[in-house]
Amino acid sequence: MKEGNQRIVSAFAPAGIGNVSAGFDCLGLALERPGDIVSIGNGSRPGAELVEIQGDAGELPRETENNIAGRVVQNMLTALRRKDALAIRLKKGMPMKSGLGSSAASAVAAALAANAFLGDPFSKEALLPFALEGERLACGSPHYDNVAASLFGGIVLIRPDDPCEIISLSYPKALYFAILHPDVQIATRDARAVLPDRVSRDVAVMQSSHLAAFIHALREDDWELIGRSMVDFIAEPVRKALLPYFDRIKNASLAAGACGFGISGSGPAMFALCRGRSAAESTASAMGAECSARDLRYETFVSRINPKGAEIIEEG
Amino acid sequence: MKEGNQRIVSAFAPAGIGNVSAGFDCLGLALERPGDIVSIGNGSRPGAELVEIQGDAGELPRETENNIAGRVVQNMLTALRRKDALAIRLKKGMPMKSGLGSSAASAVAAALAANAFLGDPFSKEALLPFALEGERLACGSPHYDNVAASLFGGIVLIRPDDPCEIISLSYPKALYFAILHPDVQIATRDARAVLPDRVSRDVAVMQSSHLAAFIHALREDDWELIGRSMVDFIAEPVRKALLPYFDRIKNASLAAGACGFGISGSGPAMFALCRGRSAAESTASAMGAECSARDLRYETFVSRINPKGAEIIEEG
């Protein structure tokens, strides 16, 4: 391991889509972009110290112990019984409270960067609990779907047993996503409060069978079935009321050629699953036009799936 | 179409396993054997007429309109606006009220035989509603999982939208099942009465994610994951109380090398999923030994999956 005051290790962790349609609380995927970057360098005193945050418009906690990245790195040092002096710099490259896994990206980037800086004491798999625990700080409960997708990339199915298992799924090469992030505020805690504690047995069966059909269709490149199986019977029916013009935006995306449509995580971002870049770009335009027509501010972008997940982008 | 008083068409429809673990109400599979045979010949008066039942120990209704096979054939004639005189013979080749899809097999065999006798006016897909409607007569509600598996063979996922969709799944070649049919009476209606009308959101997510993992693992020949994902969070916890020595039999099957274990349909039959014939035979012996030790009468058998489903076995 190289030592020296100038050494810096930076990691990028991507945004993602959680709760993918029928995959409420158990299916997530990583997007190519945007994402967060965490850099770790030598600090001035033993332990983790958050020294800089960029791109958050001053909204994130500055105290190391109250910040996701700070907490993740400190917990790793504690687990290793090490007292290295680590200076943490966080560069937010994505909107917060968007439903695109912003806190997961910060947690994962921090874990990966710190691990590399410390000489890789942990495997990538062993970083998952640290990132989850950090994310719990921000959201009240950890989101396995966002954290696992950001860390490992691809589309991941969570089998939430103890210990939880992360299963990487196959998907068509032509899979693209059109993302709409409307200028609407929804706190993750509020989005969970509207969820039903119990569902009918029929709803449970519908959700199960649609998720299974979706996974099968992704594996078999069956685009028609991908579309038909993208139905969320648990969260979307109650959460869409929190999203202005949800039905209009959904209908516009499907009319523009999207295979399916859903809320990303707990919103307010929404996603359309599309076959090919051209369809995704048309869909993004159509979703944006619905917002423009109603004076709702928004951002749209198009992304493929990030197959690798978080990675070290700079070391030296 | 050949005409004449001697003409007879016979169809075989296989038994199967419904509610396969996390696939409660949406996953079924066809077994190689046993199964029912329905023969259709020329009758003595216009319409369907049930003229003989073998192998039911006198338990099934003899009146055409109250018998599953009779009802299916009559409904097909009605839909076709035909008045052919059809004589129906049903040969039960499997135990009734076993949880192995006995009524589904009768309904499917009747539909397939009558269709062939009438010159194939319906596609195999178009026979599904007739078989379902016939099965509803016996069970109060149709079991898509049993009926679709018996008709089409293989492992089928039901996406129970309107119209419902049958999805054929891939599975490992080495898949074998050890079946235990204990001498216990459970009416399908009673088995449904113990089911919870509502489940917690967490249970719904667990069921979904396990079913998705199971389907993925079958496709990828991942035997470890097949075993880990065979958990039913909805029906087994309440239905196992209806089955004497359930936990002992389950544990014995897993100790004998089975990958997973569950209740077939609404019971009392139970199944163990195994890798290879030898493991299935050892498992069947171990399950039988548990019953013998407690003076519980039983039958066991080993079967692969029937990939073809119902078929015409005799025509002339």
Per-residue model confidence as pLDDT tens digits over A168-207: 999 999 999 999 999 998 876 778 899 999 999 999 999 9
Least confident range from A133-142, A219-228, A271-280: namely A133-142
Are B26 and A207 within 8 A, CB to CB? no
CATH architecture of the domain B175-303 equals: 2-Layer Sandwich (3.30)
Mean pLDDT for the stretch of residues A150-156: 98
User: Rounded to whole angstroms, how far apart are CA atoms A204 and A209?
Assistant: 9
pTM score of the predicted model? 0.94
Confidence class for position B300, pLDDT limits 50, 70, 90: very high
Q: How many CB atoms lie within 10 A of CB A164?
A: 16
Task: Mutation target for A interface from B206, B216, B221, B239: give the one with most A CBs within 10 A.
Answer: B216
Task: List the single best residue of A20, A165, A209, A210 to mutate versus B (max B Cβ within 10 A).
Answer: A209
CB-based burial label for A160 (10 Å; 0-12, 13-18, 19+): middle
Q: Which of A97-111, B156-170, B182-196 shows the highest mean pLDDT?
A: A97-111
Position A1 scores a pLDDT of 42
Position A64: which residue type? T
Question: Mean pLDDT score of chain B, rounded to an integer?
Answer: 94
- Structure confidence at residue A21 (pLDDT): 95
Closest CA to A168 of A289, A71, A29, A68: A29
| Residues 6 or more apart in contact with residue B194 via CB below 8 angstroms | B238, B239, B241, B242
Domain made up of A175-304: CATH architecture:
2-Layer Sandwich (3.30)
Q: Which residue has the tokens 């770790």?
A: A40
Residue B3 has pLDDT above 80, yes or no: no
d(C-alpha B225, C-alpha B162), whole Å: 32
Q: What is the mean pLDDT of residues B10-29?
A: 96
Rounded mean pLDDT of A79-104?
Answer: 94
Alpha carbon distance A180, B109 (integer Å): 52
Are A196 and B199 an interchain contact pair (Cβ–Cβ within 8 Å)?
no
Find the chain A residues whose C-beta atoms sit closer than 8 A to any C-beta of B.
Answer: 22-27, 157-161, 165, 167, 169, 195-201, 203-216, 219, 225, 228-229, 234
Mean pLDDT computed over B304-312: 98
C-alpha to C-alpha distance for B97 and B185, rounded to whole angstroms? 7
DSSP secondary structure letter of residue B242:
G
pLDDT in tens, B38-70: 999 999 999 999 999 999 988 999 999 999 999
**Out of A22, A161, A167, closest to residue B216 by CB:** A167
Residue A5 confidence (pLDDT): 56
A212, pLDDT greater than 60: yes
- Region B269-287: mean pLDDT is 98
Nearest CA in chain A to B171: A216
Percent of chain B exceeding pLDDT 90 equals 86
Is the per-residue pLDDT at A140 higher than 80? no
pLDDT at B42 (0 to 100): 95
Domain A8-168+306-315 in this protein, CATH class: alpha beta
Nearest CA-CA partner of A186 in A149, A239, A147: A239
Residues 6+ apart with CB under 8 A from A194: A238, A239, A241, A242
Which region among A300-304, B240-244, B271-275 has the lowest average model confidence (pLDDT)?
B240-244
Give B279-292 pLDDT, tens digit per residue: 999 999 999 999 99
**Percent of chain A predicted with pLDDT > 90:** 86
pLDDT confidence of residue B5: 56
Question: What pLDDT does residue B143 have?
Answer: 81
Measured between beta carbons, the chain B residues lying within 8 angstroms of A157 are 209, 212-213, 216
CB contacts, 8 Å: B160 with chain A: 205-206, 209
Residue B16 has pLDDT above 80, yes or no: yes
* B203 contact residues in A (CB cutoff 8 A): 204
From the CA of B201, how many Å to the nearest CA of chain A? 5
* pLDDT reading at A248 higher than 90: yes
Do B8-168+306-315 and B175-303 fold alike per CATH? no
Nearest residue in chain B measured CA to CA from A166: B213
In the predicted structure, residue B4 carries a pLDDT above the cut 60: no
Average pLDDT taken over every residue of chain A: 94
pLDDT band at A2 (very low <50, low <70, confident <90, very high): very low
Chain A residues touching residue B215 (CB < 8 angstroms): 212, 215-216
Q: Is the pLDDT of residue B100 over 70?
A: yes
A224: closest CA of chain B, how far (Å): 12
Q: What is the mean pLDDT of residues B221-249?
A: 96
Measure CB to CB from residue B25 to each of A169, A205, A213 and give the nearest one: A205
Residues in A touching B157 (Cβ below 8 Å): 209, 212-213, 216
Over the stretch A96-114, which tens digit does the pLDDT of each residue have? Answer: 889 999 999 999 999 999 9
Smallest CA–CA distance from A230 into chain B, residue: B159
User: A27 and B206: CB-CB below 8 Å?
Assistant: no
pLDDT of residue B217: 98
ipTM of the complex: 0.92
* Domain residue ranges of chain B, discontinuous segments joined by +: 8-168+306-315, 175-303
The amino acid at residue B232 is: D
